[in-house]
Chain A
Amino acid sequence: MQAIEVTRTKIPSPWQTLRASIWLEWQSRGNWTNPVVYTLFLTLRPLTAALVLVFMYRAISGPNAHGAALGFLVAGSAAWSFVEQVMAGLPQSVMADREEYAMLKYVYITPQRFILFLVGRSVPRMGTAAFSFIVTLAFGILLLGVPINPLQVNYPMLLGSLVFGLIAIVALGLAFAGLTLVLKRGAWQMPDAVVGALYLVAGAIFPITKLPGWLESFALFVPLTHWLELTRRALLGNAQTFSYPIADTRQVFLWLVITTIGTLIIGVLTFRICEHFARERGQLDRTTGS
């Protein structure tokens, strides 16, 4: 028999870890069915979510329904797919690796950076969320008359806010992935519960000025609030913007940057602390059967 080549194991480069984890997530997400069914799945879910909101709004507003509000709803709903897929997806990946595939312990004891592995797992989710975002907006523009002119969209602002928004979303995802490591029961439900709470607070479907004062103040410290507002301003223009406590777009951007940095620090710290406790308590390879 041929002997295998012997070389001292190295620390993998960040690119090796990212490439392998991105690829793993992509296979996990898309490999369960054929591409047509998967594309349909990616399209239908955000579309129906947006349509539910639009029809609810029309049913309530009747003849008073106007394009700006429609744009607010569709843009917010379209962008929310990033939160649903990336932020809620990270803890779900951790749960699946630990409980379903029983592989978390084997991945964890490799010399790669575990946090980078999780970041890599979020990248395909960003891609599918971007696809849902574009499809939902296109549907809104073409069939619902949402006032977005693709030629007048502020693309630099859209991309800039998306970069910071995604950093904040991944940081929150890491925090919840860490909590998943130490939670015993109900960890499957936690991501949905958190996404639901943020849906209410971050101004996804109605302006945060409609919230009670204390909750509005809290919303300003959530980076998703500013990211959604900047996304809307980039897509719809300032004239179409609903009420928002900060008028100046540069100030909104500054708020986004500051709150994103804060969220990143909190997210990574939370993950590290939870990881430490999970290792202390022997929870990294636990299967709860939940």
Chain B
Amino acid sequence: MCWYHHTGHGGQGKRDKYLESNDTPAVRTIDLRREYKTRGGSSIRGQKAGKNVVALDGVTLDIARGELFGLLGRNGAGKTTLIKILTTLLAPTSGQAFIDGMDVTREVTPVRQRIAMVSGGEQSGYGILTVREQLWMFAQFYGVSSRVAHQRIDVLLAAVGMSDQANQKVYALSTGMRQRMNLCRALVSDPEILFLDEPTVGLDVEASRLVRDYVRRWMSENPRRTVLLTTHYMFEADELCDRVAVINHGQLVAQGTTNDLKRSLQEHVRFQLELAEWAPAFVEQLRLEDGVMDAETRQREGRTELRLALLREEMIVPTIATLNNAGGRVLTLKRIEPTLEEAFIRLVGDEAEAGSEEVSHGE
């Protein structure tokens, strides 16, 4: 398993200060394992019915207070199972999980006081209630007084652009609106730790962006707040998360900042250069240069694009000098960063997703 150092690049000053002053992580799991027994005629993940299916296999993880932590993995990798355990919906088979230092299996009520959850891709909601009624009801379940609840509801609905829908019945809401309402439902109790399980699945571009923007804003309002986000969308994790972990077949295979993750899996440092003119001698000479692992060119819109793979970053300086000596003139130079998606695929392989199935029930 690859472990990458946490650099905490995304936090603001006050958040960083808060992180330093608190030792108890918001979320901690120690060797967490969850097995499901399969029954009936169907098989899960290719394992025969009647056998144990391992959904989580020795997951050890710390999420610091104030972090926006992403959990990436294919369908059936174990992301939802981990969230279910942390939110007290599911008991682990072995290992331990803590929320703010409290055991999720033994200190259920204090854990529940600190958490809330939103799942994507479902049409949840009491359709017969209005948006405001539903939010008020959940505020009651979290011990929030009606006065404070109504204040929060107004603020939250305004923030997600739903003030006009406050008195609309939930059944009449579109999928995107319903998901915004669900986000408000989770936030009406002002949780310390928010679990977002693929919150933008099935949403259009505008609704997804609104959800992401609001999550970011919500985090920035209070350094105590922590988010665990699972997502299939790599750009979402890249945009939002301070750190990410990759889970595959129930095991954490990597964790760190997105930049660490991308760079550590990059074999060579890649650059893209735009040249004023082109001669075959450029590439021939570059390939003779020490540390140049690959060089390729292509003509694009009347210009020449040169892509280089170097052993180390600092080798770009002698390489450009070689080019200049050969008569080449560099117009632009940029370093090509690998995408999180490339890093993800390198970590978990390129197995067909159709073959894996989310293990969510003990059937």
Interface residues of A (CB under 8 A from B): 1-13, 16-17, 19-20, 23-24, 27-28, 31-32, 101-103, 105-112, 117, 184, 279-286
Q: Is B87 an interface residue (CB 8 A)?
A: yes
Closest 10 CB pairs of A and B: A10-B143, A102-B124, A12-B143, A20-B140, A110-B141, A281-B362, A111-B112, A31-B128, A9-B113, A112-B141
In the bound complex, do residue B126 and residue A111 qualify as a contact, i.e. CB atoms below 8 Å apart?
A: no
Chain B residues 86-121 with CB under 8 Å of chain A are 87-91, 109, 112-117, 119
The chain B residue sitting closest to A107, CB to CB, is B141
The chain A residue sitting closest to B115, CB to CB, is A109
In the bound complex, do residue B84 and residue A102 qualify as a contact, i.e. CB atoms below 8 Å apart?
A: no
Extra contacts, 5 of them, besides A7-B148, A11-B113, A103-B124 (Cβ < 8 A), are A27-B129, A110-B189, A112-B140, A280-B91, A283-B361
In the bound complex, do residue A16 and residue B143 qualify as a contact, i.e. CB atoms below 8 Å apart?
A: yes
- Tell me which residues across on chain B come within 8 A of A103, comparing CB atoms: 124-126
17 A-B pairs (CB sep. < 8 Å): A9-B143, A10-B144, A16-B140, A20-B141, A24-B126, A27-B128, A101-B124, A101-B127, A102-B124, A102-B125, A103-B126, A105-B117, A109-B116, A112-B142, A117-B141, A282-B81, A282-B362
A193 to B81, CA, bound (A): 34
A41 to B298, CA, bound (A): 77
In the bound complex, do residue A4 and residue B156 qualify as a contact, i.e. CB atoms below 8 Å apart?
A: yes
User: Of B119, B136, B137, which is in contact with the most chain A CB atoms at under 10 Å from its CB?
Assistant: B137
- Tell me which residues across on chain B come within 8 A of A110, comparing CB atoms: 112, 138, 141-142, 189
The chain B residue sitting closest to A15, CB to CB, is B140
A16 to B148, CA, bound (A): 14
Q: Is B191 an interface residue (CB 8 A)?
A: yes
User: B80 → chain A, closest Cβ, in Å?
Assistant: 10
Q: Is B12 an interface residue (CB 8 A)?
A: no
Q: Is B313 an interface residue (CB 8 A)?
A: no
Contact A9-B191, Cβ < 8 Å, known A2-B155, A101-B125: yes
- Tell me which residues across on chain A come within 8 A of B84, comparing CB atoms: 282, 285
The chain A residue sitting closest to B123, CB to CB, is A102
A279 to B361, CA, bound (A): 11
User: A288 → chain B, closest Cβ, in Å?
Assistant: 9
Contact A105-B89, Cβ < 8 Å, known A13-B143, A27-B128: yes
Q: Is B36 an interface residue (CB 8 A)?
A: yes
A32 to B129, CA, bound (A): 10
- Tell me which residues across on chain A come within 8 A of B332, comparing CB atoms: none
A110 to B124, CA, bound (A): 16
In the bound complex, do residue B141 and residue A5 qualify as a contact, i.e. CB atoms below 8 Å apart?
A: no
In the bound complex, do residue A109 and residue B190 qualify as a contact, i.e. CB atoms below 8 Å apart?
A: no
- Tell me which residues across on chain B come within 8 A of A19, comparing CB atoms: 140
A2 to B218, CA, bound (A): 11
The chain B residue sitting closest to A113, CB to CB, is B109
- Tell me which residues across on chain B come within 8 A of A1, comparing CB atoms: 155, 158-159, 217
User: B42 → chain A, closest Cβ, in Å?
Assistant: 13
A5 to B151, CA, bound (A): 9
In the bound complex, do residue B142 and residue A111 qualify as a contact, i.e. CB atoms below 8 Å apart?
A: yes
- Tell me which residues across on chain A come within 8 A of B128, comparing CB atoms: 27-28, 31-32
Set B123, B136, B143, B217: member contacting A111, Cβ < 8 A:
B143
In the bound complex, do residue A10 and residue B221 qualify as a contact, i.e. CB atoms below 8 Å apart?
A: no
The chain A residue sitting closest to B218, CB to CB, is A4
The chain B residue sitting closest to A112, CB to CB, is B141
In the bound complex, do residue B141 and residue A12 qualify as a contact, i.e. CB atoms below 8 Å apart?
A: yes
- Tell me which residues across on chain A come within 8 A of B224, comparing CB atoms: 6
In the bound complex, do residue B126 and residue A23 qualify as a contact, i.e. CB atoms below 8 Å apart?
A: no
In the bound complex, do residue A285 and residue B89 qualify as a contact, i.e. CB atoms below 8 Å apart?
A: yes
In the bound complex, do residue A9 and residue B137 qualify as a contact, i.e. CB atoms below 8 Å apart?
A: no
Set A23, A106, A111: member contacting B124, Cβ < 8 A:
A106
Q: Is B249 an interface residue (CB 8 A)?
A: no
A281 to B155, CA, bound (A): 38
A19 to B125, CA, bound (A): 19
In the bound complex, do residue A20 and residue B137 qualify as a contact, i.e. CB atoms below 8 Å apart?
A: yes
The chain A residue sitting closest to B129, CB to CB, is A27
The chain A residue sitting closest to B37, CB to CB, is A281
Chain B residues 121-165 with CB under 8 Å of chain A are 122-129, 133, 136-138, 140-144, 148, 151-152, 155-156, 158-159
A24 to B136, CA, bound (A): 11
The chain A residue sitting closest to B170, CB to CB, is A101
In the bound complex, do residue B89 and residue A284 qualify as a contact, i.e. CB atoms below 8 Å apart?
A: yes
Contact A282-B90, Cβ < 8 Å, known A11-B113, A111-B109: yes
Contact A282-B360, Cβ < 8 Å, known A9-B191, A102-B123, A111-B112: yes
In the bound complex, do residue A101 and residue B222 qualify as a contact, i.e. CB atoms below 8 Å apart?
A: no
- Tell me which residues across on chain B come within 8 A of A286, comparing CB atoms: 360-361
In the bound complex, do residue A109 and residue B112 qualify as a contact, i.e. CB atoms below 8 Å apart?
A: yes
- Tell me which residues across on chain B come within 8 A of A284, comparing CB atoms: 89-90
In the bound complex, do residue B144 and residue A9 qualify as a contact, i.e. CB atoms below 8 Å apart?
A: yes
User: Of B89, B114, B117, B221, which is in contact with the most chain A CB atoms at under 10 Å from its CB?
Assistant: B89
- Tell me which residues across on chain A come within 8 A of B28, comparing CB atoms: none
User: Of B136, B143, B189, which is in contact with the most chain A CB atoms at under 10 Å from its CB?
Assistant: B143
A184 to B40, CA, bound (A): 12
Q: Is B23 an interface residue (CB 8 A)?
A: no
User: B250 → chain A, closest Cβ, in Å?
Assistant: 14
- Tell me which residues across on chain A come within 8 A of B187, comparing CB atoms: 4
- Tell me which residues across on chain A come within 8 A of B140, comparing CB atoms: 12, 16-17, 19-20, 112
